[in-house]
Amino acid sequence: MASQGPDSGAMLRDLTEADLEWVAAREREIFGRSAWSPSLIREDFLHGFSRWRGVERDGVLAGYAVYGYEGDAFHLMNLAIAPAARRHGLARLIMDDFLAEARRLGAPDAWLEVATTNVGALALYRSYGFEDVRVRPRYYQPEGLDALVMRRRLA
C-alpha cells in the first residue's frame, strides 16, 4: 500500500526483498559500525514480525523504517533517511505512518530508542510527543553510545 507525503514527490510503500541491498548500503552509510548487518536485515525481513516501509522521493527510494510489535509494545526499531534526501519531510511521513499503524493495531503506547547524541532525531521524536523514559548505557555497539528510550502514549 502506498501513500503520498508532504513533499509532493514523496510516497510511502512496503519494502520488498529486492530493496534489501539498498537498505544494507544505507545502514552502513548512516550508522557506520553499529549498522545492522546484511544477514540481520534479511533474517528480520523474511522471518521477523516487523513491518518494513520505504519512502520514495521522485520515484527513488530515499529512506526506510522498521516497526512492529515486540512483546506487548509497538516499537520503532529503525528509521533512516539517506543524507541527500533529508529536510524534505520524509522522516515525518514515516512517523505519521508508524503512529497510524500503532493506532490501527490498538497499541496503547509507541516506543523507540535513539542515540543520545542524535540531536536531529531527538527533536523529531519530541515534536511527535515522545517523552524520555530512561537511558540505556552503551546500548549502541561497538561505539558504546547511550540510547534514550522514549515513549508516546496512544491510549
CATH code given to domain 3-153: 3.40.630.30
Hey, what's the cell of 114?
A: 535513539
Q: How many CA atoms lie within 13 A of 5 on its CB side?
A: 25
Distance CA 84, CA 127 (A): 22
Distance CA 112, CA 106 (A): 17
Among residues 6, 21, 1, which one has the least CA distance to residue 61? 21
Delimit the domains of the chain by residue range: 3-153
Distance CA 65, CA 80 (A): 6
Q: Note down pLDDT in tens along the chain; length 155 residues.
A: 455 445 568 999 999 999 999 999 999 999 988 899 999 999 999 987 889 999 999 999 999 999 988 777 899 999 999 999 999 999 999 999 999 999 999 999 999 999 999 999 999 999 999 999 999 999 988 888 999 999 999 98
Hey, what's the cell of 9?
A: 514527490
